[in-house]
């Protein structure tokens, strides 16, 4: 007599698009019965924080890679598009599933949605359980002496480190039993996540290999080539000094526990990488801190954490915002960053700080405008890290640099791109100017400009705002809210 297969356990995948160190998948596999992996594209559920253009491109490639990884194990990734709650309920009815497992998200929209979904599942007499795949320290596990959330990074990270090493990562399940019958799945192509007319994703295709294998390869390369010098080179956009793991972390193609333990193993094997490792894990700590802030201050993406900034006299200028977005401000390091972002979906952290400061200070445009542009153009667009970082840049965040500290884009360029190679790569019309003039083309003589084939105002713009004037205007605006608060 052939026993009927038990009903499958549903694993609802979201920002955990990997097989290794995936606690929900691991738990499902351990039951020993059939496993039904599902991904639901729930754009309406995400509201204004539905994935932007670059994230949609990444998501398509990532789901392709994940589907192939499941297929290799004799399993299948089921794709559905629409409101997650009703889709899951349909799947419960269709398959007779008793148990749904997922890894937790921390975005306010996700917490509200997932809580409601869990109650509906329980109301139907079924079970739902969630796990931690995305963070070393979940936001409610780290508390100040008074029992509240942290607002300053250094004591936050100290408290985290005091909690001890995070658990070792889980191995990918070797096999995944298939259910009797696979439910209907949609074709990924039908979701139209990839750009078509025009196809602007060429630079991203060249720069990235989304998916779990791509993440592991990137981590291997970073540990072998750059970890030991990370503390020295991390601010240099002209060299390969950082890990570029941010989009993989955002989509959960790699988890922070995997990174933590790989980095510690390297230090154990090679003491010389200890300093680089400490500083690198501290940056992973900034990601944890961003999630801590978003969880405890859910208005982080829209509202300044420092109330005085609510009435900040921001300017409105479509022309200036466009010049910034297109990399046509006339400040080479700013334009290089904005063009790197547009072409590859990523920008070096030091340059993110420079372009951010330029937007909110020199141009006096609201940080939310920068946040929105980054949301649409970054492959690592992440609600926690993006909004925490923009609040920091805007001077209104929890642990922000004071507003009156205005980055000088020329000095930043000369210091962090000393040979001008980063600017030459992304603003090729300036490539023939010698350094340091490549960071200040308006200081070049007519002969120097001619020699480099540049006509200021034609082949490359003059600065859209004069540095000292922009700085003074920003400080004035800041004085106003200081007086009023
Ligand atoms: P590495 O230097 O190799 O660092 C390793 C990891 O640590 C990163 O992948 C990232 O997960 C984390 N990390 C590093 N710095 C930060 C930081 N300041 N805040 C939070 N996490 C950090 N990061 C995002 O992942 N998504 C965003 O949407 C985002 N928006 C930003 C907006 C602005 C205005 C600024 C200034 C920074 C933003 N960052 C964002 C943080 C940071 O710039 C990127 O995480 C980093 O550049 C990614 O490159 P990497 O992986 O090579 O970083």
Q: How many Å apart are CA 306 and CA 259, to the nearest integer? A: 33
Q: Nearest residue CA, atom 20 of ligand 1?
A: 287
- Determine how many CB atoms are found less than 10 A away from the CB of residue 172: 17
Split at pLDDT 50, 70, 90, the class of 198 is confident
The three-class DSSP label of residue 444 is coil
Q: How far is the CA of 468 from the centre of ligand 1 (A)?
A: 29
Q: How far is the CA of 230 from the centre of ligand 1 (A)?
A: 14
Task: Determine the average pLDDT of the residues in 267-290.
Answer: 98
- DSSP class of 438: G
pLDDT value at position 4?
Answer: 62
Handedness of CA 390, 299, 259, 18 (dihedral sign): negative
**Does 306 have pLDDT greater than 80?**
yes
Looking at the DSSP bridge assignments, the partners of residue 13 are 39
Task: Determine the average pLDDT of the residues in 472-478.
Answer: 94
pLDDT tens digit sequence for 413-435:
999 999 999 999 999 999 999 99
What percentage of the chain exceeds 90 in pLDDT? Answer: 94
Is any ligand 1 atom within 6 A of the Cβ of residue 244?
A: yes
pLDDT value at position 481?
Answer: 84
Q: How many Å apart are CA 453 and CA 440, to the nearest integer? A: 15
pLDDT value at position 83?
Answer: 98
Q: How many Å apart are CA 289 and CA 295, to the nearest integer? A: 10
pLDDT value at position 180?
Answer: 92
Q: How far is the CA of 222 from the centre of ligand 1 (A)?
A: 15
Q: How many Å apart are CA 80 and CA 171, to the nearest integer? A: 27
* Ligand 1 atom having least distance to the Cα of 388: 19
Is any ligand 1 atom within 6 A of the Cβ of residue 254?
A: no
Q: Which residues are catalytic?
A: 283, 286, 314, 349, 367, 390
* Ligand 1 atom having least distance to the Cα of 380: 26
**Does 175 have pLDDT greater than 80?**
yes
Q: Single out the residue of 7, 35, 34, 41 nearest to residue 22, CA to CA.
A: 35
Is any ligand 1 atom within 6 A of the Cβ of residue 452?
A: no
Is any ligand 1 atom within 6 A of the Cβ of residue 389?
A: yes
Task: Determine the average pLDDT of the residues in 302-326.
Answer: 95
Is any ligand 1 atom within 6 A of the Cβ of residue 381?
A: yes
Furthest CA-CA distance within the chain: 92
Q: How far is the CA of 281 from the centre of ligand 1 (A)?
A: 12
**Does 126 have pLDDT greater than 70?**
yes
- Token pair of 93, please? 């009815």
Q: How many Å apart are CA 485 and CA 476, to the nearest integer? A: 15
- Asked if 245 and 284 count as a contact pair (C-beta separation under 8 A), the reply is no
Task: Determine the average pLDDT of the residues in 172-178.
Answer: 95
Q: Single out the residue of 85, 62, 166, 155 nearest to residue 380, CA to CA.
A: 62
More confident residue, 197 or 95: 95
Residues 6+ apart with CB under 8 A from 356: 367, 370, 389, 390, 393
Which of 346, 356, 385, 407 has most ligand 1 atoms within 8 Å of its beta carbon, as the pocket-test mutant?
A: 385
Split at pLDDT 50, 70, 90, the class of 118 is very high
pLDDT tens digit sequence for 59-95:
999 999 999 999 999 999 999 999 999 999 999 999 9
More confident residue, 225 or 2: 225
Q: How far is the CA of 250 from the centre of ligand 1 (A)?
A: 10
Q: Single out the residue of 281, 23, 21 nearest to residue 161, CA to CA.
A: 281
Q: How many Å apart are CA 148 and CA 290, to the nearest integer? A: 16
Q: How far is the CA of 244 from the centre of ligand 1 (A)?
A: 9
Q: Is the pTM of this model over 0.95?
A: yes
Task: Determine the average pLDDT of the residues in 385-405.
Answer: 87
**Does 331 have pLDDT greater than 90?**
yes
Which of 285, 349, 370 has most ligand 1 atoms within 8 Å of its beta carbon, as the pocket-test mutant?
A: 349
Mean pLDDT score of the chain, rounded to an integer? 96
Task: Determine the average pLDDT of the residues in 101-105.
Answer: 98
Split at pLDDT 50, 70, 90, the class of 483 is low
**Does 206 have pLDDT greater than 80?**
yes
Is any ligand 1 atom within 6 A of the Cβ of residue 289?
A: no
What percentage of the chain exceeds 70 in pLDDT? Answer: 98
Which of 379, 380, 394 has most ligand 1 atoms within 8 Å of its beta carbon, as the pocket-test mutant?
A: 380
pLDDT value at position 107?
Answer: 98
Q: How many Å apart are CA 110 and CA 268, to the nearest integer? A: 38
Looking at the DSSP bridge assignments, the partners of residue 39 are 13, 79
Split at pLDDT 50, 70, 90, the class of 2 is low
Is any ligand 1 atom within 6 A of the Cβ of residue 249?
A: yes
**Does 3 have pLDDT greater than 80?**
no
Is any ligand 1 atom within 6 A of the Cβ of residue 380?
A: yes
Q: How far is the CA of 350 from the centre of ligand 1 (A)?
A: 10
* Ligand 1 atom having least distance to the Cα of 381: 28
Q: Nearest residue CA, atom 7 of ligand 1?
A: 284
Cis peptide before 198 (omega within 30 of 0): yes
Which of 244, 246, 282, 288 has most ligand 1 atoms within 8 Å of its beta carbon, as the pocket-test mutant?
A: 246
Split at pLDDT 50, 70, 90, the class of 403 is confident
Is any ligand 1 atom within 6 A of the Cβ of residue 387?
A: no
Q: Is 241 exposed, middle or buried (0-12, 13-18, 19+ CB in 10 A)?
A: buried
Task: Determine the average pLDDT of the residues in 124-152.
Answer: 97
Split at pLDDT 50, 70, 90, the class of 448 is very high
């Amino acid at each position: 007599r052939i026993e009927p297969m038990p009903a499958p356990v549903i694993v609802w995948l979201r920002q955990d698009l990997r097989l290794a160190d995936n606690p929900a998948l691991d738990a499902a596999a351990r039951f020993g019965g059939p496993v039904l992996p599902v991904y639901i594209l729930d754009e309406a559920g995400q509201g204004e924080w539905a994935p932007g253009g670059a994230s949609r491109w990444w998501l398509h490639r990532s789901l392709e890679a994940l589907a192939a990884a499941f297929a290799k194990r004799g399993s299948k990734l089921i794709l559905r598009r629409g409101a997650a709650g009703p889709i899951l309920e349909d799947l419960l009815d269709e398959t007779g599933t008793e148990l749904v497992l997922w890894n937790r998200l921390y975005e306010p929209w996700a917490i509200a949605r997932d809580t409601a979904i869990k109650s509906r599942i329980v109301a139907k007499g079924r079970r739902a359980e969630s796990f931690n795949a995305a963070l070393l320290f979940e936001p409610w596990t780290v508390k100040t002496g008074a029992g509240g959330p942290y607002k300053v990074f250094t004591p936050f990270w100290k408290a985290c480190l005091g909690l001890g090493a995070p658990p070792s990562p889980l191995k990918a399940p070797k096999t995944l039993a298939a259910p009797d019958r696979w439910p209907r799945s949609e074709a990924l192509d039908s979701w139209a996540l990839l750009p078509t007319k025009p196809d602007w994703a060429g630079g991203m295709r060249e720069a990235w290999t989304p998916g779990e294998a791509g993440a592991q390869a990137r981590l291997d390369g970073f540990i072998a080539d750059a970890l030991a010098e990370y503390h020295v080179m991390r601010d240099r956009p002209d060299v390969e000094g950082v890990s570029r793991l941010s989009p993989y972390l955002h989509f959960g193609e790699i988890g922070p526990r995997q990174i933590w333990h790989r980095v510690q193993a390297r230090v154990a094997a090679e003491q010389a990488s200890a300093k680089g490792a400490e500083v690198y894990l501290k940056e992973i700590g900034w990601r944890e801190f961003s999630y801590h802030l978003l969880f405890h201050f859910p208005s982080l993406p829209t509202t300044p954490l420092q109330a005085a900034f609510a009435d900040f006299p921001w300017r409105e200028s479509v022309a200036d915002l466009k010049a910034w977005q297109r990399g046509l401000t006339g400040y080479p390091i700013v334009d290089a960053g904005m063009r790197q972002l547009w072409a590859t979906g990523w920008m070096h952290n030091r340059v993110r700080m420079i372009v951010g400061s330029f937007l909110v200070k020199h141009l006096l445009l609201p940080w939310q405008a920068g946040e929105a542009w980054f949301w649409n153009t970054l492959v690592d667009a992440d609600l926690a890290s993006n909004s925490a970082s923009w609040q920091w840049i805007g001077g209104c965040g929890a642990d922000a640099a004071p507003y009156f500290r205005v980055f000088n884009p020329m000095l930043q360029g000369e210091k962090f791109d000393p040979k001008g190679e980063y600017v030459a790569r992304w603003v090729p019309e300036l490539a023939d100017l010698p350094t340091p003039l490549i960071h200040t083309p308006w200081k070049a003589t007519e002969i120097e400009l001619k020699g480099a084939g540049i006509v200021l105002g034609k082949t490359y713009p003059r600065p859209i705002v004069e540095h000292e004037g922009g700085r003074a205007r920003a400080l004035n605006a800041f004085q106003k809210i200081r007086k009023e608060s």
